[in-house]
């Protein structure tokens, strides 16, 4: 599984609305594997397909509890709010305070094509929102109340 190049802020693909995955085939499964490998190599907790140059609705997340793969994810429920510091592999060295929902539920497909729901709070809720924002062409620096170098 090769480590892929992570696209940086300013790259056009990061501003596109990602296309839904129509068919989960071997190519999509390989891309998910490569995205996970890339995320781990970069010490990230999440990675969206646009960050590796693929304008597709694919996300991988691992907040320390194992890999979560999301195909065509949609936030279907949310509640509360909290402000916390975020960073992004596509915006290296920059951090910002971002207000997000405290708890979210996401509906998505797994690599077998089966629909499932995942709910999270804390870092998982933040990662779910941050990564699904990438699929809409939104970077955290556009939402941050403050930005600083780290």
C-alpha distances in Å from residue 78, one per residue of 13, 23, 48, 56, 123:
27, 28, 20, 24, 14
- Evaluate whether 119 touches 104 at the Cβ level (below 8 Å): yes
Name the residue range of residue 49's domain. Answer: 12-149
Convert the pLDDT of each residue in 85-103 to its tens digit: 999 999 999 999 999 999 9
CATH code, 145: 3.90.45.10
Q: What DSSP string describes 10-53?
A: T-GGGGSPPBPP----HHHHHHHHHHHHHHHHTT-SEEEGGGGT
Active-site choice (5, 99, 131, 142)? 131
- Catalytic residue check, 99: no
Query: Is the distance from CB of 25 to CB of 113 less than 8 angstroms?
Result: no
Query: Which residues line the annotated binding site for Fe cation?
Result: 88, 130, 134
The count of domains in the chain is 1
- Whether 72 is in a domain gets the answer yes
pLDDT tens digits for 30-57?
999 999 999 999 999 999 999 999 999 9
Residue 53 lies in a domain: yes
């Amino acid at each position: 599984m090769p480590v892929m190049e992570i696209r940086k802020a300013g790259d056009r693909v990061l501003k596109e609305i990602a296309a839904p995955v129509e068919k989960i085939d071997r190519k999509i499964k390989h891309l998910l594997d490569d995205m996970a490998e890339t995320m781990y190599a970069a010490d990230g907790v999440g990675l969206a397909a646009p960050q590796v140059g693929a304008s597709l609705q694919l996300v991988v997340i691992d907040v320390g509890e194992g890999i979560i793969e999301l195909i065509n994810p949609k936030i279907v429920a949310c509640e509360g709010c909290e402000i916390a510091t975020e960073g992004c592999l596509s915006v290296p060295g920059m951090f910002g305070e971002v207000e997000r929902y405290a708890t979210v539920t996401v509906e998505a497909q797994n690599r077998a094509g089966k629909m499932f729901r995942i709910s999270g709070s804390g870092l998982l809720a933040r990662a779910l929102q941050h990564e699904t924002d990438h699929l809409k062409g939104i970077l955290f620096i556009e939402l941050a109340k403050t930005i600083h170098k780290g």
